[in-house]
Structure formats: C-alpha cells, structure tokens
Chains A and B, each alone.
Chain A
C-alpha cells in the first residue's frame, strides 16, 4: 500500500543548529512530494514540493529537501534553525493516478534557546 513514513515523532534542536527531518515513501512510481509546516492554531503551510528535475529543492523560510530515489526518501533540511521554526512538519505524497494526498504522521520540532 502507498504510504508516507516520518520516523521521528519529536525532535529537539538548539537554535542555530542544523536540522534534518526524515521522510520515506512507499510507492510504485515516483510520487509528487511535499513538505508542509503547521504552527499551533494554524493551517498547513507549504514549504516546498518536488515532482521532477533537480533533486535538491529549495523552499521558503530557508528550508530545502533532497529527493533520493534509491532510498525512497525526501528529507527536509535547514542549516541553522531559528526559534520560530518550532512547529509540526508533515511530509506528503501523491501519485498521478491517486486522488488522495497521503500525509505522514508528522514530526514535532522543538527549538531550545
């Protein structure tokens, strides 16, 4: 079955440290991939997306993600985390034939000062 896995439920990093959030997908074909961020009391905001081409994708707020077909992964990275990055992050995927966007269970990021 098609699925998206975010292995880390909760991550804590210090402000200024680098960040990597993991996302793995299980699809027969390469899906379209998205990362969203959800701050408390708000909706999901799109950070970046990948559907073809350059496997390193730049997004908003200084985030980037790298698509690795061999590892079925689409990990989100940021070189230096800010306290305002504390939020929940969702990876999501869809193939061209499906109608439902499949979300991972989310990773909650805590940033310590």
Chain B
C-alpha cells in the first residue's frame, strides 16, 4: 500500500528563494498534517487540515509560511522568502480521522537546507 509521499526528499536553496514542499496523503485519509523537525525544537506541528480545510495553523511560524490543500490527494507547504533558520526536516502526515484514536502516518520527509 502506498504511504504518504513527499517531494522532494532533499532541497538546497539560497536564502530569499521560494521553496515549495509537496505531499500526497494516503488515499481515503481525511486529515493531513505538516510538521517541522529540528534538533533544538523537536517535532512541531505547523498546520493541519480536515477534509481539505485548514483547522489549526497556530504552529505556522510567520507569514512567510503558507499551506494549501486544493484537493484530497495533494497539499503544499510554501516558504517565501526562505531564510537559513528555516532549515529543517519537514514531514507530512495523514490520518483517517482527527482528532481520534486513528494514528497519524508519516512520510519520509523533506530535508530542507537554506544557504
């Protein structure tokens, strides 16, 4: 079975450039999450969607970050302009239903380096 698919796996770009991360959730899952993982702060929830609608974006660090989910099978996380402190691993996860006892299933992440 296909899991959560993220692209690209690695991204290296210069400060000030726009970065777009992509995610395809597991088919049939109604909830999608974007996380950021760093050594200093661990795993942080940035935003989550239910049925393509953003429910909680309180973790989005600032206006430079935006996320969209135009349909049930695709989501993007965009950073514009990017800064070196945005360097991290970004994970997308999906769940059948949230909040619930249904687990979140994670993609392999995008390792982002901003020079």
**What is the CA–CA distance of A13 and B41 in the complex, to the nearest angstrom?**
27
Contact with A along B37-60 (1 / 0, CB 8 A): 000001101001000000110000
Contact flag A103-B109 (CB < 8 Å), given A43-B91, A94-B99: no
Interchain CB contact under 8 A, A90 and B99: no
Q: Which residues of B contact A (CB under 8 A)?
A: 4, 42-43, 45, 48, 55-56, 91, 93, 98-101, 103-109, 111
Q: How many A-B residue pairs have CB under 8 A?
A: 44
Interchain CB contact under 8 A, B42 and A103: yes
Interchain CB contact under 8 A, A42 and B42: no
Enumerate chain B residues within 8 angstroms of A99, measured Cβ to Cβ: 48, 55-56, 98-99
Contact with B along A18-48 (1 / 0, CB 8 A): 0000000000000010101000011111100
Residues facing B in A36-92 (CB within 8 A) are: 36, 41-46, 49, 51, 90
